[in-house]
């Protein structure tokens, strides 16, 4: 297994650039798991990926709706936030949301707070992005998984 890719994000611009790099390597059926403390920038990074895939308009957190879906030229983009679903019923809730099926149908699935849901999402994610707050405006992104090597 390759070493993780580590990126220091000193600005929103750096995060947008990382989002564009992630978008370039994603393929239909990929799952991306995003983790990090509240306020680490998971939703902002998802927005950067979405915009790079051609999504126009606001990309907002699906914390209460649980799932938002966007059309892109490459594949449907599904953005899920499992923060409220943690615990013993997680697999059943992920099944109820149909995320595994959307993946099988070719959607790109980006999941915040999904580290415990990999099996329910259909197995190994294509990419895992862990965001750590290291300063008032600085974050460190650690990327691992099969698609991480393609991110430059």
Q: pLDDT tens digits, residue range 94-130?
A: 999 999 999 999 999 999 999 999 999 998 999 999 9
pTM, two decimal places: 0.93
Over 60: is that where the pLDDT of 1 sits? no
| Residue 93: Cβ within 10 Å count | 17
Q: pLDDT tens digits, residue range 21-56?
A: 999 999 999 999 999 999 999 999 999 999 999 999
- Tell me 141's DSSP state: E
Cβ contacts of 87 within 8 Å, gap of 6 or more: none
Gap between the terminal Cα atoms of the chain: 18
Q: pLDDT tens digits, residue range 52-101?
A: 999 998 888 877 678 999 999 899 999 999 988 777 888 999 999 999 99
* pLDDT in the model for residue 64: 67
């Amino acid at each position: 297994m390759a070493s993780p890719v580590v990126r220091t994000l000193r600005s929103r611009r750096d995060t947008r650039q990382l989002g564009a790099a992630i978008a370039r390597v994603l393929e239909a059926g990929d799952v991306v798991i995003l983790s990090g403390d509240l306020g680490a920038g998971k939703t902002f990074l998802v927005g950067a990926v979405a915009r790079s895939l051609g999504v126009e308009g606001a990309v907002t957190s699906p914390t209460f709706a649980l799932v938002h879906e966007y059309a892109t030229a490459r594949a449907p983009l599904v953005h899920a936030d499992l923060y409220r679903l943690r615990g013993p019923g997680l697999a059943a809730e992920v099944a109820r949301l149909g995320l595994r099926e959307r993946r099988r149908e070719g959607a790109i699935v980006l999941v915040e707070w999904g580290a415990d849901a990999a099996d329910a999402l259909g197995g190994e994610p294509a990419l895992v992005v862990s965001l750590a707050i290291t300063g008032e405006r600085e974050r460190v992104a650690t990327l691992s998984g099969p698609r991480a090597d393609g991110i430059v």
